[in-house]
Structure 1
């Protein structure tokens, strides 16, 4: 995806720090989505790319490794995946709206912010804190390189495209991570 919005392009670092850097980017992008003077269309595309790439890298590499090391349990990893799915579902609602200057857009952004902010708080408390305490610096650095590589490759592959987000949400419903039918409203 080409965007003028800087999503960062880390290549190495402690995985906890890299994840936290993305969390701060999410917060900034959510602020920009609420700003009526911003290029909200560009911001939602950037948010989508980062959200999908970040979740994919965590679910594919970070959560399984932390489980293997006993830093987090199966419940925490599964809950993180459920919350990613909820974020993707809220993101899809934002992406599918035609305009960015409507009450419907503002409402969809509020739903997205609620889902994402809830996840950021829980993940920082229940996954990142145990990772800091129970995984060695060396292993967090190795995992950081793997996370960054997967995240950046997904962004390069346009993972945040609306059709891909639709596919991800449909798969999450099929796996029971989301309600079968989206809520009306």
Structure 2
């Protein structure tokens, strides 16, 4: 009888030890970075090829984590919300789509690509952060663009674009929605700048 009771107790204790009584951590929600870009359409039919390089980002912004700041020169990150990929990697197809819509080039392709290009566009994310040093908070976005001629490696356009967008709410989702609007505005300006400052873009072939 004693052996039977000991065996039963061991089974009960084993079952209890297998139960994880810790509170499960909330899952991380991941968001896509998208933009509704309104671009001017070129009057002239483009004939060249534009290569869009993979965008880069400054340290601190080269991560899928969503950044915010509560004091100058310091950044933190939300713990339960992230981008689906780094903003730089998500930016490349948005650039290609917007530049294709302008019809200023015969073709717009994303690097790496075996296609011989006439111009090359590089974009660097200098800042993408929700700024809590002001109330209500805002999202600050800065991009640097460089359009160059492939054959001569001569820079045709070099410019920094910046915008500030009020956040919808004081949390990660408010930052995400404001980031999308800010990116829409800057991409529209980026395409217009490239087309106006490089009037021969796409005309070499």
Pair in the same fold by TM > 0.5:
no
- TM-score, L = length of structure 2: 0.27
Q: Which has the higher helix share?
A: 1
- TM-score, L = length of structure 1: 0.30
Larger radius of gyration: 2
Higher relative contact order (CA 8 A, sep 6+): 1
Q: Which has the higher strand share?
A: 2
